[in-house]
């Protein structure tokens, strides 16, 4: 969607005109029919509420939309995003090609306008690449948004925000693509193409290089697949050249059958999004590069496919990780932690990060605990935890902290190796985090984000339709801005 700014309309009155309205505060100058119609329809301007009317202006019938932002106070920016999203949801397939947003008449400040545009753009994202028989009334028609009377500084602020929106859209794209299109090699190729000209530096390790490094856990997961694994590295070094980088590690299981510990067939098609952590990392780095963040940030994506062929690892196998620790693989469907542990070890040895944060669709137990409202967070550093919680609240990618404790370590004890890759059924998300903590070196500040319930939605949300949400991109961007750029 193309969004641009104008001081005033060029030519006759716009065909589709939108205003955003605070709760119980209709703007002045509205036609009587609009004001009375809004009252009759019980439109009060609650967040996300929308009212439509038709009026004649300058000899032309104008389709006038009022989008509610709710009452002022806490959650104001999120409510403004919902107003923009409501406009996108209503008019995306309406037959209208252009929407004019009257920022001046809406009384919006620069940051408020950016929030509305963010909600509008994110809610308008669709992936129709494989749909060949869409009815005309289902096709996207709205491709242009003209902002009228924007306050000073809004265009510059939107330039940075649109880079973040592009990062969210890229993460959604990667998550949405089927596993026959996005697999480890093509994930890398898609990133190489998308990052061209961004200023970021991309490289990757192949299977042979990882084998020489001793990544037995990651390679054990991939050995049942015909698809070769990759370890993708994305560097954005926009900060002080002497500052240690912050490293984000993403789980990128491009399809997860469960391996020999095969998942039930029902719903297995959803496992194309088991690379949602890697998608969030890639989308975040695209956002940071796009807005030229003044920070040193590196993304590492462990990319594998987990398949159950005759070469696949078996329950009971023992693998040696890059760290030298050995793991008894009790369940091949607990593969994400095996990928992450080697990727985390390599990232620490290679970059000596100031902070290490991993993102992963790791455990079904997290969905049982938090549903689809929060991502789970585990951290060995209280300051880091508070910073991430704050970034979650500010971005809308909300987190909830869970405990880490040595009391859980005994649940991972193995009789023949240093540890098992799973514990018993209870505390499943916690034991997964305890497992990963064993690969954090030299007391590096570390957080593990289990986002299993957040990367895919079965129903529309505040700024997304059904499907991929792009969760994690805005969280990382807010964290980097607040912690590394302030």
Q: Which residues are marked as active site? A: 263, 337
Backbone angles phi and psi of 226, in degrees to 5: -75, -15
Q: β-strand 296-306 against 246-256: which pairing, if any?
A: parallel
* Dihedral angle sign, alpha carbons of residues 357, 362, 368, 372: positive
Tokens at 166, concatenated: 């592009």
- Residue identified by tokens 């439109």 is 43
CB 248 within 8 A of CB 358: yes
The 10 Å Cβ neighbour count of residue 482 is 14
Q: Cα-atom radius of gyration of the chain, to the nearest Å? A: 24
- Residue identified by tokens 């602020």 is 157
Q: How many residues does the chain have?
A: 486
Tokens at 360, concatenated: 């992963």
- Residue identified by tokens 């196998």 is 317
DSSP 481: I
Distances (CA, A) of 106 to 38, 100, 150, 371: 16, 12, 10, 36
């Amino acid at each position: 969607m193309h969004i641009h700014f104008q001081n005033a309309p060029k030519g006759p009155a716009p065909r589709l005109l939108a205003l955003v309205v605070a709760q119980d505060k209709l703007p002045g100058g509205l036609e009587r029919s609009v004001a009375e119609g809004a009252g009759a329809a019980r439109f009060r301007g609650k967040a996300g509420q929308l009212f439509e009317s038709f009026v004649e202006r300058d000899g032309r019938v104008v389709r006038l939309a009022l989008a509610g932002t709710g009452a002022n106070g806490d959650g104001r920016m999120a409510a403004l995003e919902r107003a923009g999203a409501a406009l996108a949801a209503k008019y995306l397939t309406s037959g209208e090609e252009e929407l004019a947003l009257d920022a001046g008449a809406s009384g919006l400040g620069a940051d408020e306008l950016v929030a509305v545009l963010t909600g509008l753009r994110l809610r308008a994202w669709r992936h129709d690449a494989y749909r060949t028989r869409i009815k005309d009334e289902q096709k996207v028609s709205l491709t242009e948004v003209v902002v009228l009377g924007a306050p000073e500084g809004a265009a510059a602020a939107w330039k940075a925000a649109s880079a973040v929106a592009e990062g969210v859209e890229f993460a959604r794209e990667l998550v949405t693509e089927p596993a026959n299109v996005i697999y480890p090699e093509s994930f890398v190729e898609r990133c190489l193409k998308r990052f061209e000209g961004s200023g970021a530096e991309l490289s990757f390790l192949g299977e042979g290089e990882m084998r020489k490094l001793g990544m037995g856990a990651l390679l054990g997961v991939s050995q049942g697949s015909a698809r070769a694994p990759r370890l993708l590295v994305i560097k954005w070094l926009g900060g002080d050249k002497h500052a240690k980088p912050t490293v984000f590690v993403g789980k990128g299981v491009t399809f997860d059958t469960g391996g020999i510990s095969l998942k039930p067939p029902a719903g297995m098609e959803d496992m194309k999004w088991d690379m949602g952590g890697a998608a969030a990392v890639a989308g975040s780095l695209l956002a940071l590069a796009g807005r030229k963040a003044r920070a040193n940030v590196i993304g590492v994506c462990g990319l594998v496919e987990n398949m159950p062929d005759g070469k696949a690892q078996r329950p009971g196998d023992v693998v040696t990780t890059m760290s030298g620790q050995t793991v008894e693989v009790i369940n091949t469907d607990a593969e994400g932690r095996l990928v992450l542990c080697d990727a985390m070890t390599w990232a620490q040895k290679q970059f000596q990060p100031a902070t290490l944060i991993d993102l992963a669709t790791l455990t079904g137990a997290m969905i049982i605990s938090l549903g689809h409202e929060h991502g789970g967070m585990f951290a060995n550093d209280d300051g880091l935890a508070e910073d991430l919680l704050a970034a979650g609240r500010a971005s809308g990618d909300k987190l909830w902290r869970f405990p880490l404790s040595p009391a859980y370590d005994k649940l991972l004890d193995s009789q023949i190796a240093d540890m098992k890759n799973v514990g018993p059924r209870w505390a499943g998300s916690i034991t997964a985090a305890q497992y990963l903590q064993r690969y954090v070196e030299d007391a590096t500040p570390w957080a593990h984000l289990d986002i299993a319930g957040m990367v895919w939605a079965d129903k529309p949300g505040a700024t997304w339709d059904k499907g991929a949400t792009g969760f994690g991109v805005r969280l990382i961007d807010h964290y980097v801005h607040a912690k590394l750029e302030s």
